[in-house]
């Protein structure tokens, strides 16, 4: 719970209700945040705004600096050539075509096949096994791969192990750090890692307790001006605000971190509290909004749920697709891309409904961007998706 001055009343702070989908003659519209006449211009400009769910086509500062368009004034010429624009459009068309051709059953079948093709061998996680009795692993069956693990340099204990892996995208080989939720025994290690990697953003995708089970322990002060001391690492909550512009319950905090050598840094912490474990949320736009908020980070973005694989994996795969598009790289083989991601963080995305949700969230993004052409086929896919999720939910209740 956050305490401090509030300019908006409690009613305004209620979670935004998930908007129902509406259809137009020309497209399937899932949001009215963008005027149709501005869609193509906004896609080309790739503007960062909280109400536009479109990936930035040029992410690095160098490319932004060298862009032919340095202003957002109305009427300015497009910054991306027709060849580049056509390339992006073709890649989106290809992605949608592959998704539609596979359908719900095909996507489900290919996800199940990944279980066997991406299962790591014991030789791939030897350090994880060596730390089974160290109190540093939350789950015994969620391994941490050796090849991409984050090493805690000059850790006071002499043990450089933390259950965390670097995961790369076209933007950076260390775009994300996917990690488990901190334990009582690893809070210091977690903040040690944040300081070492110069992290600017943390996205937390789990609640502390879900269905009666502990999924994370509190590892930061939730109240404004409160300071917590984790073995010499001081963490102070500077600000706390519930983001009422999100279609889900997200709290944003600004945390000041002071290391034992008295150096300070500011970390922005986003806490998405209503995404159930092993399940999917009731919003397609929320992951896109969150990724937009952190995308400009030049240092690794820390993502964690409880195990750091399910909900975390959904965000990673969504961002990978959007970055590949922005670099004009093909992204239609979602199963291949997930297989590559699992070489960096084992078991990313836990089940078939999360895998399908990633497709649905991306389809939402492309729809908002005005990129859906096969309207009838997409409508059928959405209907099939909703029916599948409904059937899965009922089956779970009856289990």
d(CA 126, CA 279): 30
Res. 397 pLDDT band, cuts 50 70 90: confident
User: For the ranges 44-58, 118-132, 308-322, which has the lowest average pLDDT?
Assistant: 44-58
Catalytic site residue from 305, 314, 331, 365: 305
- Buried b / exposed e over 171-187, threshold 16 CB at 10 Å, is bbebbbbbbbbbbeebb
pLDDT at site 399: 66
Res. 398 pLDDT band, cuts 50 70 90: confident
Where do the structural domains in the chain lie, given as residue ranges?
28-57+81-398
Distance of CA 56 to the CA centre of its chain: 15
pLDDT beyond 80 at 292: yes
For the stretch 228-283, pLDDT in tens is 999 999 999 999 999 998 999 999 999 999 999 999 999 999 999 999 888 899 99
Strand partners, 178: 165, 303
pLDDT at site 87: 87
pLDDT at site 33: 31
pLDDT at site 26: 34
Q: Is residue 305 among the annotated active site residues?
A: yes
Mean pLDDT of all residues in 205-230: 97
pLDDT beyond 50 at 16: no
pLDDT at site 276: 87
pLDDT at site 70: 33
User: For the ranges 50-54, 300-304, 341-345, which has the lowest average pLDDT?
Assistant: 50-54
Q: Which of 52-61, 198-207, 365-374 has the highest mean pLDDT?
A: 198-207
d(CA 120, CA 234): 37
Res. 2 pLDDT band, cuts 50 70 90: low
Q: Where are the alpha helices (DSSP H) in the chain?
A: 39-45, 61-65, 82-117, 126-130, 187-196, 286-294, 310-326, 334-342, 352-368, 375-398
For the stretch 150-184, pLDDT in tens is 999 999 999 999 999 999 999 999 999 999 999 99
Mean pLDDT of all residues in 302-307: 98
Token pair, residue 58, equals 């040029």
User: For the ranges 18-32, 126-140, 223-237, 262-276, which has the lowest average pLDDT?
Assistant: 18-32
In percent, how much of the chain has pLDDT > 90? Answer: 74
Mean pLDDT of all residues in 70-78: 36
Hey, which CATH number is domain 28-57+81-398, 3.90.1170.10, 3.60.150.10, 3.30.300.30, 3.90.190.10?
3.90.190.10
Res. 67 pLDDT band, cuts 50 70 90: very low
In percent, how much of the chain has pLDDT > 70? Answer: 78
Q: Where are the alpha helices (DSSP H) in 118-199?
A: 126-130, 187-196
Mean pLDDT of all residues in 193-212: 97
Please enumerate in sequence order all residues whose Cβ is within 8 A of that of 346, keeping only pairs 6 or more positions apart, or say none: 118, 120, 124, 125, 142, 143, 144, 145, 309
Mean pLDDT of the chain: 83
Token pair, residue 274, equals 């209503």
Mean pLDDT of all residues in 362-391: 95
Res. 56 pLDDT band, cuts 50 70 90: very low
pLDDT at site 352: 96
pLDDT at site 60: 31
């Amino acid at each position: 719970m956050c305490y401090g001055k509030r300019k908006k009343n409690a009613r305004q702070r209620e979670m935004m209700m998930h908007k129902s989908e509406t259809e137009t003659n020309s497209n399937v519209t899932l949001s009215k945040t963008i005027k149709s006449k501005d869609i193509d211009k906004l896609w080309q400009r790739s503007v960062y705004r909280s109400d536009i769910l479109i990936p930035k086509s040029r992410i690095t500062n160098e490319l932004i600096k060298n862009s032919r368009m340095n202003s957002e004034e109305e009427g300015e010429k497009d910054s991306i050539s027709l060849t580049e624009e056509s390339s992006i459009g073709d890649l989106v068309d290809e992605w949608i075509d592959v998704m539609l051709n596979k359908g719900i059953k095909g996507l489900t079948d290919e996800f199940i096949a990944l279980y066997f093709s991406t299962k790591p061998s014991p030789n791939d996680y030897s350090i994880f096994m060596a730390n089974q009795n160290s109190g540093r692993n939350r789950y015994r069956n969620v391994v941490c791969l050796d090849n991409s693990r984050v090493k805690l340099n000059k850790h006071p204990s002499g043990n450089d192990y933390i259950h965390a892996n670097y995961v790369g995208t076209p933007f950076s080989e260390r775009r994300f750090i996917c990690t488990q939720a901190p334990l009582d025994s690893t809070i210091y290690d977690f903040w040690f890692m944040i300081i070492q990697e110069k992290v600017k953003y943390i996205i937390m995708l789990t609640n502390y307790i879900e269905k009666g089970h502990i999924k994370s322990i509190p590892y930061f002060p939730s109240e404004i001006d409160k300071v917590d001391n984790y073995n010499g690492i001081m963490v102070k909550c500077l600000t706390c605000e519930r983001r009422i512009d999100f279609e889900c319950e997200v709290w944003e905090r600004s945390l000041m971190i002071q290391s034992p050598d008295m150096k300070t840094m500011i970390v922005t912490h986003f806490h998405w509290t209503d995404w159930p474990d092993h399940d999917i949320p009731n919003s397609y736009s929320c992951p896109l909004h969150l990724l937009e908020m952190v995308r400009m980070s030049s240092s690794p973005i820390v993502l964690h749920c409880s195990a750091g694989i399910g909900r975390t994996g959904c965000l990673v795969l969504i961002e990978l697709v959007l970055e590949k598009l922005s670099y004009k790289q093909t992204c239609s083989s979602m199963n291949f891309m997930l297989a590559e991601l699992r070489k960096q963080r084992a078991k990313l995305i836990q089940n078939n409904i999360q895998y399908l949700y990633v497709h649905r969230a991306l389809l939402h993004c492309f729809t908002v961007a005005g990129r859906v052409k096969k309207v009838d086929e997409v409508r059928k896919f959405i209907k099939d998706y909703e029916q599948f999720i409904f059937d899965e939910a009922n089956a779970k209740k009856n289990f």
